[in-house]
Amino acid sequence: MIRLAASDIDGTLLQNGAREISEAVFEQILRLKKQGILFVAASGRQYKSLRQLFAPVADDILYLCENGAIVYQDGLVLVKFPMPRADAVALIELIQGTDDCEVLISGANTSYLMPKHEDYLNHIRYFVGNHVTMIESVEDIREEIIKVSAYCRSGAAAYDKPMGDPWRDRFHAALAGEKWLDFTLADKGKGMKALLQALKLTPEEVIAFGDNFNDLPMLEMAGTAYIIEGSPLDRAGSRMRRTKTVEDVLRLL
């Protein structure tokens, strides 16, 4: 029996450049809650951005944020996986020193930026909707770092191996979109495991949806998993179930 429905956001719930969750999804979330099925927004986005995105049902859902690096239940941090500071700083310096890339450093509730170009700042602040803190150097960050991301203007796939491979013995590194390469100590699977332990649920009671490689740890641990048709995971030949939209499956629960 399904007790938890977890969905990635960008490329999964939001497709083809969409910026707002449809009213139909909000209706399904509330209907499922009445049936005893909780909804989890599982994303690389920060908590503030996700609450804004899900505003009509913000207090009715759970949040697996920053690719599983921090999980919220009832507005409180359930679990957090901070990165070792020295390694995070070295990674930040590598990304910042790469001409084609911008760095995004995630704390619990803000994105720390040292933008090289104003359009990147505007993208994070206005399109993604993150709370942003401008810094001059990493030393200005006084809290634990939970995620480091590279925004690669020419496409993240080209940087997956040369930038990601040297760090994979210390961090989970995964493509999180066309231009994003994310580094965390956790992943969506680890975050989901912590959430299930808190809720006393089993993986067999989970249905999960995703489109990209950063979703795989969550999808692989779920009892039922769907990928979006035409997504990077679909094109890579995944054998998981496919759906055009998350709504098509939710309405059948």
Beta strand pairing call for 111-113 and 101-106: antiparallel
Question: What local confidence, expressed as pLDDT, does residue 13 receive?
Answer: 96
Kindly give the confidence (pLDDT) of every residue in the chain, 253 residues in length, as a single tens digit, with 9 standing for 90 and above. Answer: 999 999 999 999 999 888 899 999 999 999 999 999 999 999 999 999 999 999 999 999 999 999 999 999 999 999 999 999 999 999 999 999 999 999 999 999 999 999 999 999 999 998 888 999 999 999 999 999 999 999 999 999 999 999 999 999 999 998 888 999 999 999 999 999 999 999 999 999 999 999 999 999 999 999 999 999 999 999 988 889 999 999 999 999 9
Question: What local confidence, expressed as pLDDT, does residue 159 receive?
Answer: 96
Instruction: Tell me the longest C-alpha to C-alpha distance in the chain.
Output: 51
Question: Among 84, 32, 40, 38, which residue's Cα sits nearest to residue 191?
Answer: 40
Distance CA 79, CA 64 (A): 10
Domain ranges of the chain: 4-80+187-250, 85-184
C-alpha distances in Å from residue 249, one per residue of 9, 35, 61, 221: 15, 15, 18, 18
What type of residue is 53?
L
Question: What local confidence, expressed as pLDDT, does residue 89 receive?
Answer: 97
CATH number (3.30.930.10, 3.40.1080.10, 3.40.50.1000, 3.40.630.10) of 4-80+187-250 reads 3.40.50.1000
Query: Is residue 159 within 8 Å of 152, Cβ to Cβ?
Result: yes
Question: What local confidence, expressed as pLDDT, does residue 238 receive?
Answer: 85
Collect all residues with Cβ–Cβ distance below 8 Å to 117 and sequence separation of at least 6.
102
Q: Which residue has the tokens 């066309």?
A: 178
Question: What local confidence, expressed as pLDDT, does residue 239 receive?
Answer: 85
Q: 33 — phi, psi (to 5°)? A: -60, -40
**Centroid of chain to Cα 217:** 12
Question: What local confidence, expressed as pLDDT, does residue 111 receive?
Answer: 95
CATH number belonging to domain 85-184 = 3.30.1240.10
